[in-house]
A and B are shown apart, each in its own frame.
Chain A
């Protein structure tokens, strides 16, 4: 299979410190939303930055026929949309200008009318059309985070790398943003890698999850990969997977597990 995203033997870090040491993931087919789960410092952001080409590293990363590590910056910016964890800085730049400059920087050949249409469509899809002419400085942190995501979606990348896109959002917007990301993946057969802290959101919206710890802890469909043992190893907590009254799995956390980090023998 040459389609989809292939990641093998990635080694990456900052300076001399290796955060990811030889990570290999199962191939990801097009149209898939993958949730990246793991404790703070487990390498979620580092993995996303490596794939986005923002930090160096070694290993194989292929998207379809493209070797991600050898792409020119211009082509990479078209194929790969990375949303940093840091929210956009407040400035007097209008939301519309943020999206327009993103399009101009990545798709310079697009006509003005086409660019306008794309921007309109994305803002309407995310239900933030009323923010279009407001300056970033007049928006809340959560609103700026959504504009950051809109700036990724407007470029229509084949691989979306989203670093905690819902961290500043309230409940309703968390749902609608993830809904949008999933729709985007389905409609355009794009792949989304989403670093996410809320495990129940991951259970609900992701087709697959990847649990990172000291290396790869588990990978697969969320209901299979997220077991009490995996959660104990990844976060050092005792947790149960229950079924809610609608029949969906939910994770209930009971507390911090004693000696959980060293106690790994119970993982097969």
Chain B
């Protein structure tokens, strides 16, 4: 009797937990729907029934349908989901350990560093011996993204972050400008052909996706997501403040190093395959925070699903906005993301 009476709060919390689980399932269902829609959208007309039949039994489908579905649309659509999930998860983790809702791979210059790396690889036209020509651009972009994360890491270590890490964001903006200037320099020196390639890379596109890049990114996400989920309680505790978390015996410094390592892996690999895709790392976590709160058991999967959903929908929009033309998806995410970014800044200002 008294047990039932005293566990009213526990029951209320369990109800909330169930509601959040349902929200996660809803997000996953929306993502599945968006993925199908993405597969059905494109230059050639393909009804949803044909898509489902072609997925279910590829051997029975027409050759044209099979090639378009399995060699073109499916890798691209899965890439959209994986890149979105990787950037959403990276952004969420970054915002927690840097204690700032404006932190993301994009706002701290990590994606600009990847762009600069890709541009240098394109202009210099070198090949990394073991990697081979088609992967050289991606590997160089990844290396630059890693280097940018190391710089962020060094700054996070020297600066106190309990004040909200504002200096870190300002530093990120400075880094974005510097990297852009260097990018212009590379573009100025580039040949017309290389310039076109760089510009295309900068706009971010899913068009370069192949099954091998999809597989590699899937492996990275499959490694990083369970790894992150092992630290959900510590990350949740960290949201109440760094000193409070340290008082709980959480090694905050060590956790920050591990998280930024994961972030650079997720963001670096994702961006190196698709080019500059902005704001997903900001919008995904924001969706999760609004829908699920900041209990990281729900917040991290929610951010990954939210990022995947936004990028998948952006992919649909990029294909259907201008009939017969596939816009670079980075343009779509930027147009969707900038209002969200401004809203975030305004919301943060309002807070006491």
| Cα(A116)–Cα(B251), bound, Å | 26
Which of A74-82, A189-197, A241-249 lies at the interface with chain B? A74-82
CB distance from A74 to the nearest CB of B (A): 6
Interface string of B176-207 (1 = CB under 8 A from A): 00000000000000000000000000000000
Asked if A66 is at the interface of the complex by the 8 Å CB criterion, the answer is no
| Chain B residues with CB under 8 A of A90 | 351-352
Alpha-carbon gap, A133 to B10, bound state (A): 10
CB pair B352 A93 closer than 8 Å: no
Beyond A89-B241, A97-B293, A148-B244, whether A132 also contacts B234 by CB under 8 A is no
A105 at the interface (CB under 8 A from B): yes
A-B contact count (CB 8 A): 107
On whether the beta carbons of A91 and B244 are closer than 8 Å, the reply is no
- Indicate whether A98 reaches chain B with its CB closer than 8 angstroms: yes
**Assuming A86-B243, A137-B351, is B99 touching A105 (CB within 8 A)?**
no
Q: How far apart sit A91 and B100, CA to CA, in the bound complex (Å)?
A: 11
Q: Give min CB distance, B241 to chain A, whole Å.
A: 4
Alpha-carbon gap, A123 to B10, bound state (A): 12
Confirm or deny: B16 has a beta carbon within 8 angstroms of a beta carbon on chain A. yes
Interface residues in B215-238 by Cβ distance below 8 A to A read: 233-234, 236-237
Whether A106 contacts B244 in the complex (CB less than 8 A), given A93-B236, A120-B7, comes out as: no
What's the Cα separation between A91 and B352 when bound, in Å?
A: 11
In the bound assembly, the distance between CA atoms of A84 and B99 in angstroms comes to 17
Interface contact A88-B6, CB-CB below 8 Å: no
Chain B residues in 8 Å Cβ range of A102: 237, 248
A84 to B162, CA, bound (A): 12
How far, in whole Å, are A102 and B240 apart by their CA atoms in the complex?
A: 10
A119 touches B9 (CB 8 A): yes
Q: Considering only CB atoms, which chain B residue lies closest to A129 in the complex?
A: B9
From residue B18, how far is it (CB to closest CB) to chain A in Å?
14
Interface size on B, as a range, is 20 to 34
Q: Do A86 and B241 form a contact, CB below 8 Å, given A104-B233, A116-B9, A135-B293? A: yes
User: Do A77 and B249 have beta carbons less than 8 Å apart?
Assistant: yes
Chain A interface, number of residues (Cβ within 8 angstroms): 44
Residues in B with CB closer than 8 Å to A148 are: 240, 244
Interface string of A105-122 (1 = CB under 8 A from B): 110000011001101110
Which residues of A lie under 8 Å from residue B8 when comparing CB positions? 120
Q: Are A93 and B9 in touch, CB under 8 angstroms?
A: no
Give Cα distance in the complex from A242 to B56, angstroms. Answer: 89
Kindly state whether residue B319 has any CB partner on chain A within 8 Å.
Answer: no
Contact A94–B9 (Cβ < 8 Å): no
Interface string of B150-167 (1 = CB under 8 A from A): 000000000000100000
Q: Return chain A residues, CB-CB under 8 Å to B351.
A: 90, 137
A–B complex contacts, Cβ < 8 Å, 7 sampled: A89-B162, A91-B240, A93-B236, A100-B13, A116-B13, A120-B9, A132-B13
Residues of A with Cβ closer than 8 Å to B? 52, 54, 73-74, 76-77, 81-84, 86, 88-94, 96-98, 100-102, 104-106, 112-113, 116-117, 119-121, 123-124, 129, 132-133, 135-137, 148, 151
Further pairs besides A73-B250, A89-B162, A93-B239: 18, Cβ < 8 Å = A52-B247, A76-B249, A77-B248, A84-B243, A86-B243, A91-B239, A91-B294, A93-B295, A94-B295, A97-B236, A100-B13, A106-B248, A106-B249, A113-B7, A116-B9, A117-B10, A132-B9, A132-B12
